[in-house]
Amino acid sequence: GSGGGGSPGTLALLLGEGAKRLPQAIIIGVKKGGTRALLEFLRVHPDVRAVGAEPHFFDRNYERGLAWYRDLMPRTLEGQITMEKTPSYFVTKEAPARISSMSKGTKLIVVVRDPVTRAISDYTQTLSKKPDIPTFESLTFKNRTTGLIDTSWSAIQIGIYAKHLENWLLYFPIGQILFVSGERLISDPAGELGRVQDFLGLKRIITDKHFYFNKTKGFPCLKKAEGSSKPHCLGKTKGRTHPDIDQEVVQRLRDFYRPFNMKFYQMTGQDFGWD
């Protein structure tokens, strides 16, 4: 340890003390749900240390081994929580068993959002990278005339939350998974962050004093980002304008997701108000 008086904590970190630890908590999903916002908000907490980039360890890099994974982590002091986020874990078949074999006690966080807007957001992201892709409408259906929805399209597949959750519940008790509402993360960031801090066993340090609502972005932003005195909004890849989607197709998707949403509400004991 660091001897002497004063506050050893900060000094110890400056001296490169503390150790790299495997994460005790992981944001496992979902893509386009609000995971980046949640991580950036959480990093304001002095007892949270997180990896900025998505490690994709339990889905793409597992063969590299736990030592490689641990080395990606920031150094922490006793009592601090190490975290990472990789939203694709939630839909990865092998991820629950792999995380459980690292530690059965890992706390899992899933940021969920209305599956229809999530799908459109997912499509919007892809469109920004590949402007020549087919329309959202044509990708939604296997066959537009029969109205059969193509559940193999990942943008639609990811939103069937109940189905993916079943896989996690084979390895983790439901109480070890926190479900954060992507909608409430925008409308009441401090409220959702309160739930997250409680779940992680952290003091409720992040409160509404930390946020202001940016009208232009339509997003809450931090008055001060982690380690900075400047206000901080999410980058320009966040909060993109969605294309107008045929309302009939949107309605068809709402109807498709409804039973899965109801099942998900039952499983989690939470009504997310998507219908």
DSSP string, 108-151: EEEEE--HHHHHHHHHHHHHHH-TTSPPHHHHHEEETTTTEE-T
Query: Whose structure tokens read 């050893």?
Result: 8
Query: Whose structure tokens read 């939350």?
Result: 161
Q: Is 70 exceeded by the pLDDT of residue 246?
A: yes
Q: What is the CATH number of domain 19-114+158-238?
A: 3.40.50.300
The answer to whether 238 is annotated as binding is yes
The answer to whether 239 is annotated as binding is yes
Yes or no: say if 162 and 263 are a contact pair by the CB < 8 Å rule: yes
Domain ranges for the chain: 19-114+158-238
Q: Is 50 exceeded by the pLDDT of residue 7?
A: yes
The answer to whether 230 is annotated as binding is no
50-83: pLDDT as tens digits: 999 999 999 999 999 999 999 999 999 999 999 9
The answer to whether 227 is annotated as binding is no
The answer to whether 36 is annotated as binding is yes
161-194: pLDDT as tens digits: 999 999 999 999 999 999 999 999 999 999 999 9
The answer to whether 113 is annotated as binding is yes
Yes or no: say if 15 and 30 are a contact pair by the CB < 8 Å rule: no
Rounded-to-integer distance, Cα 142 and Cα 254, Å: 17
The pLDDT > 90 percentage for the chain reads 82
Catalytic sites, residue numbers: 32
Yes or no: say if 75 and 49 are a contact pair by the CB < 8 Å rule: yes
220-232: pLDDT as tens digits: 999 877 777 788 8
